[in-house]
Amino acid sequence: MSKNKSEVRKELLATLYKEAGVNYRYFLSWRHKLMVRFFIFLAAIFVVFRWLYESNLSLKSIWLVPFFGFFVTLALWCLDHRSKTLFRACQKTGEELEKEFSVGKISGVYKKINRTTEDSILIASRVMGVAYFVCSIVFLLSTIYLLVK
């Protein structure tokens, strides 16, 4: 028995919606892993800097620590931006598919997530963006200060 076009379309939309959810969770977990690694990296940079400073082993090359921190922070910031772009694409796709499936005034989770993101000033993406920006500036200024000193 063959399916009519409407049934095939509904199955296709359901498959696309499921795939959007799988990808959304994947990119969110990728982003959370980046954030954890960023904070571990910050702690490691400060430990290495303090150890080198207190041990007086190599004060002439201590500027390399914040210099390295600057570039790693920029790399993590770029990766975070990319993962944010990807999971927001999944959100948008999910919301569009929910519109196709909508029945009455029922709204799906993606519409609610997108509305919350648009309405809120303090969201994780902005907080992390500020953290990456501030850390990169601090690392850059520290590098300059240690080179001039």
Interval 30-88: pLDDT, tens? 999 999 999 999 999 999 999 988 887 777 889 999 999 999 999 999 999 999 999 88
Burial of 60 (0-12, 13-18, 19+ CB in 10 A): exposed
For position 118, what pLDDT does the model report? 65
Band (pLDDT 50/70/90 cuts) for residue 119 is: low
% the chain with pLDDT above 70: 91
pLDDT at 106: 66
